Amino acid sequence: MLYAGTNYHPHDWTRDRWRHDIDLMRKASFNIVRLGHLCWDSFEPSEGNYTFEWFDEVMDLFAEAGIGVVLDIATRPAPTWLHKKYPEIDLTHSSGIRMEAQTRYMEDVGHPVFQEYAFKFADTLVRRYRNHPALLALGLCNELGSGSPSYSAAARDRFEAWLRNKYGTVDHLNEAWATRRWSRRLSSFHDVVLPVSGQVVGAPERMLDMWRFYSDETLSYMKGLSRLVKELAPDIRESTNHWSESPGYGFDYLRDAQEIIDLPGIGFYPGTNPEDRKALTAACFFMDHRSGELGRPIWCLEFQTGDFGGYASPRQAMRMYAYLSLLHRSQAVCAWTWRTMLGGEEQYVFGLVDHDGIPGWKYDEFKQIAEEFSRLASTSLPRTVSPEIAIAYSFESLKVMAGNRSFYKTDYTEQVLQAYEALELANLDCNIVNLRELQDAYKLLIVPGHAIMDKASAATIRSYVEAGGTVVMTAYSAKVDENNRVFGTTLPGELSDVFGIRSGAFVRTKSHTPTENAGGLEKTELHLERERPSIVLDGQELQPEIDFYEILEPRTAEVAASFAHTFESSPAVTRNRYGKGEALYVAIPADADFLTALLDTLYPQLGIEKGPATPAGVAARKLEDGSVLYVNTTGRKQAVTLAQQATGFLSGSLMEDTLILEAYEVELAKAVTRHKEEKH
């Protein structure tokens, strides 16, 4: 079954509007709605004073309309009365100033007082609605991982306790943090401070542990909500649209996803310009990241209808996005939002219904989505897949690389997206995996820019290759150990024998200007181009954008590709036999075009069949029943060559050998079976 519906905020509108809105949703064939988020104080306007009666009526109306409710457990933002009673739950800026809760997500999620009240509210809410006939699923709060951490004295005390638990003794902590550097030894755990003060940040070892601490607090809170739901409403599904990938906060989602998440969820926001290919790729990658190795459909609990100050995507692009999400294992799309809000932080984020309550053309387009999703119930959607390829993702590498821009000049997320795009261009599925605990079996493992290489991750790669797997790792990988200290052993750290190389020197093809002011002299960014390397692979000279490459010294590895037009000859790709498998190291940061060429040489050897052949910009996947779903993500007409005659499930048209897709058009092509004539 597929779900299409919207996010609705009944507390924003008068009671006489509810039935009208719900009737419009019913007429649009919506079968899902998300409620309750961002309105704790509408349920509990003052401490212990619960006013659920108004919401009982809303739930009853949706039950009457036959629309299932995803009820969000709205513990963020915390209500003003809680902030005023306990100002210690307010966020503290890195400057030490306590910040007033004037916008959303300004509570310290790790503070025990916040959690006490939040869990009490969650308990009350779940108990009240767990048996309601409209209830389809529960949401574990809204966008955890967004906002910013608190640098308060209370957070420092919790950080100290976290470090005590992790390291046991201050000597172990001193060793992990290399505190002998710059005379920063700690005499006791009481000497610990949060390593951010104003604009000044501490040493890399301390920063990584700080981000681990904040991540653990978020994960612990999510686990608490998940346990509460499982105990009080064991038969109800649960999901959440967290933001673990947030560059400013986030958390290590893959570490505990198996324990926390029932149905993976996301806010699907590729933007209102489909031409922004990076944003489009990132939206799909985040979906696959949330799916991880859970093997379950994902729900788009929020789905882009408009943007800040932007009324809509081009006509039919919203429908295209819905089908693109289906390609990436979605089962549900909930428009953000139903009616454009009149005030507040999102007064010009445009929904399906305009400010005056009158549906716009987007309502009709989403109605089309809902009606088609209903028809698709007879197909093998939502997709359930067992990918043969995995891409490793590391929250810790995200933080490590963001913390040292002078060395890691290529953004970590950009590298992961480049690797992911290479698979998208081939219409291949992949799982996004946690190297520390690989769950499934894969023919190919891609490790892009995995700067940190802890012992568990290294052991995974070693055993994976030894058992017959093929791994491709790119530059900037395995530079630091689990404490964010650069390896004093041969690079790639922990794995030089698996890859059969030594990586030491490196070249920046453009003039280098560090972010730090070494020597007290201001340095000028010259933007000089010193080299323009190309790569020779299988006799073909390729010209990817290269601003950094590592000089690889093969030990037991063979050279699979070489640099050309460089000051000294060196391998661009090495290939090493280790155990029953192979380990390939790419000397440049992940680049979609180059990885596409490299992986094309590997697929036949690994028995990996590429997805349906399509023009650039047309995404496609074969479904379990043999039909193929095509999505034209571009604003121009595209012609797709078909292997055989097919009928269009959505259009009803017969196609001989070519499928014509108009701008942002989609089609589910079912092959026509030709029966041989019986011989008499």
Q: Are 236 and 417 in contact (CB under 8 A)?
A: no
Which pLDDT score, from 0 to 100, does residue 517 have? 74
Pair of tokens at residue 356:
């005056």
Neighbours of 345 (CB within 10 A): 11
Alpha-carbon distance values, 485 to 179, 204, 218 (Å):
12, 8, 25
* CB-count burial class (<10 Å; 0-12, 13-18, 19+) for 476: buried
Alpha carbon distance 651, 666 (integer Å):
9
Could you tell me if residue 366 is inside a domain? Answer: yes
- Considering the domain architecture, whether residues 421 and 305 belong to the same structural domain is answered as no
- Considering the domain architecture, whether residues 595 and 568 belong to the same structural domain is answered as yes
Alpha carbon distance 323, 327 (integer Å):
6
- Considering the domain architecture, whether residues 631 and 602 belong to the same structural domain is answered as no
- Considering the domain architecture, whether residues 376 and 395 belong to the same structural domain is answered as no
- Considering the domain architecture, whether residues 402 and 506 belong to the same structural domain is answered as yes
Task: Specify which residues 432 forms β-bridges with.
Answer: 391
Alpha carbon distance 595, 415 (integer Å):
11
Q: Which of 464, 426, 474, 453 is nearest to 597 (CA)?
A: 426
| Amino acid letter, 85 | K
Could you tell me if residue 21 is inside a domain? Answer: yes
Alpha carbon distance 421, 414 (integer Å):
10
Task: Specify which residues 98 forms β-bridges with.
Answer: 92
Residues 629-680 pLDDT 10s: 999 999 999 999 998 999 999 999 999 999 999 999 999 999 997 654 444 4
Q: Are 358 and 24 in contact (CB under 8 A)?
A: no
The DSSP 8-state label assigned to residue 510 in this structure reads B
Could you tell me if residue 89 is inside a domain? Answer: no
Alpha carbon distance 298, 381 (integer Å):
12
- Considering the domain architecture, whether residues 490 and 535 belong to the same structural domain is answered as yes
**How many distinct structural domains can be found in the chain?**
3
- Considering the domain architecture, whether residues 279 and 320 belong to the same structural domain is answered as yes
Alpha carbon distance 298, 267 (integer Å):
11
Residues 17-27 pLDDT 10s: 999 999 999 99
Alpha carbon distance 201, 104 (integer Å):
26
Alpha carbon distance 477, 492 (integer Å):
7
Q: Which of 565, 584, 606 is the last residue of a domain?
A: 606
* CB-count burial class (<10 Å; 0-12, 13-18, 19+) for 547: middle
- Considering the domain architecture, whether residues 408 and 355 belong to the same structural domain is answered as no
Could you tell me if residue 422 is inside a domain? Answer: yes
Q: Strands 558-564, 431-433: parallel, antiparallel or unpaired by DSSP?
A: unpaired
Q: Say whether pTM exceeds 0.75.
A: yes
Alpha carbon distance 356, 470 (integer Å):
58
Could you tell me if residue 498 is inside a domain? Answer: yes
What does the H/E/C string look like for 21-52?
A: HHHHHHHCCCCEEEECCCCHHHHCCECCECCC
Which pLDDT score, from 0 to 100, does residue 677 have? 45
Report the CATH number that the domain containing residue 601 is assigned in CATH.
3.40.50.880
Alpha carbon distance 281, 291 (integer Å):
15
Q: Are 558 and 573 in contact (CB under 8 A)?
A: no
Dihedrals phi, psi of 370, to nearest 5 degrees: -65, -40
Which pLDDT score, from 0 to 100, does residue 518 have? 75
Q: How many helices and strands (H and E) does the chain possess?
A: 17, 28
Could you tell me if residue 492 is inside a domain? Answer: yes
Domain of 664, in residue numbers? 618-671
Could you tell me if residue 221 is inside a domain? Answer: no
Q: What SS3 state is found at 556?
A: coil
Report the CATH number that the domain containing residue 644 is assigned in CATH.
2.60.40.1180
- Considering the domain architecture, whether residues 519 and 449 belong to the same structural domain is answered as yes
Q: H or E segment at 491?
A: none
Q: What SS3 state is found at 331?
A: strand
Q: Which of 454, 424, 455 is nearest to 446 (CA)?
A: 424
Neighbours of 75 (CB within 10 A): 26
Q: Are 611 and 536 in contact (CB under 8 A)?
A: no
- Considering the domain architecture, whether residues 453 and 549 belong to the same structural domain is answered as yes
- Considering the domain architecture, whether residues 434 and 494 belong to the same structural domain is answered as yes
Q: Which of 582, 606, 630 is the last residue of a domain?
A: 606
Alpha-carbon distance values, 153 to 1, 97, 244 (Å):
49, 11, 25
Rounded to 10 degrees, the C-alpha dihedral 465/467/469/474 comes to -10
Pair of tokens at residue 287:
């979906």
Place of tokens 């560059």: 247
Alpha-carbon distance values, 242 to 166, 278, 281, 388 (Å):
26, 21, 19, 27
Alpha carbon distance 353, 26 (integer Å):
14
Task: Specify which residues 264 forms β-bridges with.
Answer: 240
- Residues in the chain, pLDDT under 50: 676-680
Q: Which of 585, 606, 627 is the last residue of a domain?
A: 606
Could you tell me if residue 190 is inside a domain? Answer: no
Alpha carbon distance 3, 18 (integer Å):
21
- Considering the domain architecture, whether residues 522 and 653 belong to the same structural domain is answered as no
Which pLDDT score, from 0 to 100, does residue 678 have? 42
Q: Are 203 and 404 in contact (CB under 8 A)?
A: no
